[in-house]
Amino acid sequence: MSSTPLASIKGLSKRFGGIAAVSDVSFDLVAGEVTALIGPNGAGKTTLINLVTGVLACDGGTISLEGEDITARPTHQRGTAGIARTYQTPQIAHGMSVLTNVMAGAYRFGQHGLLSSVFRPWVVMKENDEMAARAAQCLTRAGVAEQWWQRLATDLPYGLQRRVEIARSLAQDPKLLLLDEPAAGLNPSETADLSRLLSEIAADGRAVLLVEHDMGMVMSISSHIVVVNFGRKLAEGTPKDIASNKDVIAAYLGADEAVA
């Protein structure tokens, strides 16, 4: 597909105490494609997301976005640069409506900070309207019906909270979107909706990194799959390659099979 990747991860490592949570993992993320990151529980998938977003500092390796090394940048600068994420359990801000939650996601597009707020509130009001329009678009796209928008976000059912979270990350207009098990807890029809949505999001020209256990979903929407186990990259390739890879099958079925 496209020749230059949007983001590259090279030799990334992270240790917790004596345990290597991630060691020497490298792969590329290409704009317009869904890349899946799979592996057994505890393989280091969430740690990788935390390293890419800068929530954790890595012990070795580099992360670059659009050719620029961002390894040393703090989390908020990566957010501003266009890296957005969702969480294993939805992290919806309490005490805020659905719409405000998603408007908050558009933070990086605001021009007006503290001083403008105080001295030129009318500019901020206009900006709020723009952000609300953006948020409305994202909510519609993520499939959250308008009847919910003024409700407290934490009052929504679980499946809808997941959608609100995706809408919030879309409001950030991400170049790179990292999704941590977005299908967990969803029923089959919700999962199908989600698959369609994620394919569309990638088709916008964004790079999507999908951490997911639902193999049907992974196989159907990703162009590229990276398999990790015990913090190491085990295999990498197209869904077809991965489905027939012996190491991967062994890792998923257990060590006994690998020995035999």
Partner 1 sequence: MTTSTSNSNLRHDAVILAGLAVVLTLAELALTSQFHRSILILSMIHAIAAIGLTLLLGYAGQVSLGQGAFMGIGAYAAAFALQKLALPAPVALVAAVLLPGLLGFLIARPILRLSGHNLALGTLALGAVFFVVAAQWRSVTGGLDPGIVDLPSLAIAGFSHERILYILAGISLLSAIAVAVSLVDGRFGRGLMVLRTSELVAACMGVDTVRAKSMVFAIAAALSGLSGALLALYLRSFNASAFGVGLSIELLMMVILGSLSTVWGAIFGAFAIIVLPNLLEGFDHAKHLIYGLVMVGIMMFAPRGLGETLFRLVTRKRSVA
Tell me which stretch binds partner 1 (CB under 8 A): 13-21, 70-78, 193-201, 235-243: 70-78
Residue 240 interacts with partner 1 (CB under 8 A): yes or no = no
Residue 121 interacts with partner 1 (CB under 8 A): yes or no = yes
Residue 88 interacts with partner 1 (CB under 8 A): yes or no = no
Cα separation, 133 vs 148, in Å, equals: 15
Residue 150 interacts with partner 1 (CB under 8 A): yes or no = yes
Subset of residues 33 to 62 that bind partner 1, contact rule: CB under 8 A = 53-55
Nearest approach in angstroms of CB 55 to partner 1 is 6
Subset of residues 154 to 173 that bind partner 1, contact rule: CB under 8 A = 155, 168, 172
Tell me which stretch binds partner 1 (CB under 8 A): 19-27, 142-150, 194-202, 251-259: 142-150
Residue 73 interacts with partner 1 (CB under 8 A): yes or no = no
Q: Which residues bind partner 1 (CB under 8 A)?
A: 53-55, 74-80, 83-85, 87, 91-97, 99-101, 103-108, 110, 112-114, 116-118, 121, 124-125, 127-129, 131-133, 136, 146, 149-152, 155, 168, 172
